[in-house]
Structure 1
Amino acid sequence: MKKFAVFDIDGTLIRWQLYHAVAEALAKQGLLDPKIHQTIKDARMRWKKRTHTDAFRDYEGRLVSAYDRLITQLTPEQMQVAANSVFNEYRDQVYTYTRDLIAQLKDRKYLLLAISGSQTEIVDKIAKHWGLDDWVGSTYTQKGGRYTGAKIVASADKAKILDKLVTEHKLSYKGSIAVGDSASDIKMLELVELPIAFNPEKTLFDHARQHDWKIVVERKNVVYELERTSGIHYWLKTI
């Protein structure tokens, strides 16, 4: 049975959140109410200033709420315009660690998968661009050429999606690898032999540390692996 590696995309391969970028692209088309857009930008600035520990969640929550209200007013054509814009801007804005890991594993004949909470319209483009074999993004239901508002969020249960992909492709968990950066990746990471917490947010970092998972940090032009030395102390090893 073939080995595989599975990647998160936003903040793991791509250096920004594609879901957020698509919402911003829709706003630039004039499709988002300016007052709501300003509220989102204000929340994003509070996060950038690190005004409180939940600033990012507050920003993201406002953005998702606005997007969910907007989606029923959009046509698939408008969504594709936004997805194309985001793809053209962000497709090569990637982390060197995950970019190089994908290339190495491809040479070793791994099947390459991705599971992302971002819209399938943009996930499709990014996954194809980077030569992945299969992928799943969040799907917004359509009926009669319009979005209904119903959605299937891929990041809600990445473990279940991964199990399905493993079964469909007749893959083996032996030698399997997963890379993710956030708490929504934990269940997926728990399934594989080599879980990699990459630039992890605090919840994932704490979980990875407790379970002795590999922790990798990329900062500017240097990639570090965090290694335990004694107790809870870590040192950085350049890789």
Structure 2
Amino acid sequence: MSSIPTAKANPYLAVFDLDETLIAADSASLWIAYLVEQGIAPASLLEEEQEMMKAYAKGEMDMDAYMAATLKPIAGMDYQALNALVDDFIEKKIKPALYDDAIERIQWHKKRGDKVLIISATGEHLVKPIAAMIGADDAIAIKLEHINGILTGKTSGTLTYQHGKVIRMKAWLDEQDTQFKGSYGYSDSINDLPMLDAVDRPFAVNPDPALALHAQMNEWTIMDWRHENNILR
């Protein structure tokens, strides 16, 4: 049963994962590669990050350890410097990776009057500006700790990973003025099974093998998204 409250004559909520769902890549991995290119992170972090991503693919990642390692390069940075880097990163790395079908699906939801929410197990410094660029109404991501606008390299609050996505989504729903008529959910990853189980209409987008099997067994719609034309470039 869906855990999202419903009401008649209200909009639907469309919840999207970001990495490998809306873009044909992992934004955090692209970000680390970008920081290495800029001379901000050591090249050794690339190999370390890829090893940790192997655990993610199995649903076994230590997200606290991952965030600690990948936030080190920006610890001590202020938001003005960070935001300038992120703007350049999005233009060079994210826009070319967008799935055309994902953008079209978001636009389909917007035309219906639905509210579009992106929930990602990536830092909010990347997710929120990417979500704004894509046209989402809001975004939930891993919060970064800062002191007087200076990043500490640590996270705060519940991490938006696996069941943590549902916890943060419920908290977000409690803050909304409107209850939703129903909900859609989109993801590629078995890590997002709790989130997909929490919506009324789950969709497996370019699913990994474990999610594909689950989707087939539960008769969920499986979607094959491409980005050949890249309509937002």
What TM-score do you get using the length of structure 1 for normalisation?
A: 0.75
Partner residue of 2:126 out of 88, 103, 122: 122
Contact 1:86–1:122 (Cα < 8 Å) also in 2: no
Specify the alignment match of 1:98 in structure 2: 102
Distance (whole Å) between structure 1 residues aligned to residue 14 and residue 76 of structure 2: 37
The 1:37/1:54 distance shift into structure 2, 3 A limit, reads closer
Partner residue of 1:110 out of 109, 114, 117: 114
1:1-239 alignment to 2 at 5 Å? 1-34=10-43, 36-37=44-45, 39-40=47-48, 43=50, 66-89=69-92, 90-91=94-95, 93-152=97-156, 153-156=159-162, 157-169=164-176, 170-172=178-180, 174-218=181-225
Distance (whole Å) between structure 1 residues aligned to residue 56 and residue 154 of structure 2: 27
Distance (whole Å) between structure 2 residues aligned to residue 30 and residue 56 of structure 1: 28
Contact 1:155–1:184 (Cα < 8 Å) also in 2: yes
Q: How many Å apart are 1:37 and its aligned residue?
A: 3.8
Q: How many Å apart are 1:214 and its aligned residue?
A: 1.1
Distance (whole Å) between structure 1 residues aligned to residue 227 and residue 83 of structure 2: 32
What TM-score do you get using the length of structure 2 for normalisation?
A: 0.77
The alignment partner of 1:10 has SS state of coil
The structure where strand makes up a greater share of residues is 1
Deviation readout 1:197-228 (Å, 9 max, x if unpaired): 1011122222222222111123676xxxxxxx
Greater CA radius of gyration, 1 or 2?
1
Contact 1:180–1:196 (Cα < 8 Å) also in 2: yes
What percent identity do the matched residue pairs reach?
24
- RMSD, aligned CA: 2.9
Distance (whole Å) between structure 2 residues aligned to residue 80 and residue 86 of structure 1: 10
* AA partner of residue 171 (structure 1): Q
Specify the alignment match of 2:4 in structure 1: none
Q: How many Å apart are 1:111 and its aligned residue?
A: 0.8
Distance (whole Å) between structure 1 residues aligned to residue 225 and residue 135 of structure 2: 22
Specify the alignment match of 1:229 in structure 2: none
The 1:96/1:219 distance shift into structure 2, 3 A limit, reads closer
Q: How many Å apart are 1:135 and its aligned residue?
A: 0.9
The 1:54/1:146 distance shift into structure 2, 3 A limit, reads closer
The count of aligned residue pairs is 210
Q: Which runs of 5+ in 1 are unaligned?
A: 48-52, 222-239
Deviation readout 1:170-197 (Å, 9 max, x if unpaired): 232x431110111221111111111001
Q: Structure 1: which 4+ aligned runs deviate by more than 4 Å?
A: 53-57, 60-65
Q: Which runs of 5+ in 2 are unaligned?
A: 1-9, 229-233
